[in-house]
């Protein structure tokens, strides 16, 4: 995702906080066969180098996890957490994303 309006619409959807990240998700009507993903890290995460490292880690986790656990027709925003996203073990970061996706799609019965 590139546009602010898409991030704002997704922010109004479901939220799943986890230790390594925050996941925001919403079902989308247009383009039902695409999974769209956005990444954000505020200045609370750290300086520019730290924020970029956190976003790279979130991108890598999303690339591995969303193929199997993401749903077409959904928007996802992954938000970095201060002091945790950069230092958390990568396997644990992927597990955080996986459990957040399962919580969004599993228990609530979202289509």
3 phi, psi to nearest 5 deg? -100, 145
Flag whether 25 is in a domain: yes
CATH number, domain at 50?
3.30.230.10
Separation CA 96–CA 32 (nearest Å):
25
**Domain limits at 56?**
4-105
pLDDT tens per residue across span 16-41: 999 999 999 999 888 888 999 999 99
Q: Which of 66, 93, 7 is nearest to 42 (CA)?
A: 7
Separation CA 85–CA 82 (nearest Å):
7
Separation CA 29–CA 39 (nearest Å):
21
The confidence score (pLDDT) of residue 107 equals 57
First-residue to last-residue Cα distance in the chain: 21
Does the structure show a pLDDT above 80 at 105?
Answer: yes
Separation CA 26–CA 97 (nearest Å):
15
Q: What pTM, to 2 d.p., does this model score?
A: 0.90
Flag whether 110 is in a domain: no
Tell me the two tokens of residue 79.
């938000």
Number of structural domains found in the chain: 1
């Amino acid at each position: 995702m590139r546009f602010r309006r898409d991030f704002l619409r997704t922010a109004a959807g479901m939220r799943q906080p986890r230790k390594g990240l925050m996941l925001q998700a919403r079902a989308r009507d247009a383009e039902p066969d695409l999974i769209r993903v956005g990444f954000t890290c505020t200045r609370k995460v750290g300086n520019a180098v730290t924020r970029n490292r956190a976003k790279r880690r979130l991108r890598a986790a999303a690339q591995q996890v969303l193929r199997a656990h993401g749903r077409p027709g959904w928007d996802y925003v992954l938000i970095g957490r201060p002091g945790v996203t950069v230092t958390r073990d990568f396997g644990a970061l992927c597990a955080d994303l996986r459990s957040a996706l399962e919580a969004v799609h599993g228990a609530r019965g979202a289509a």
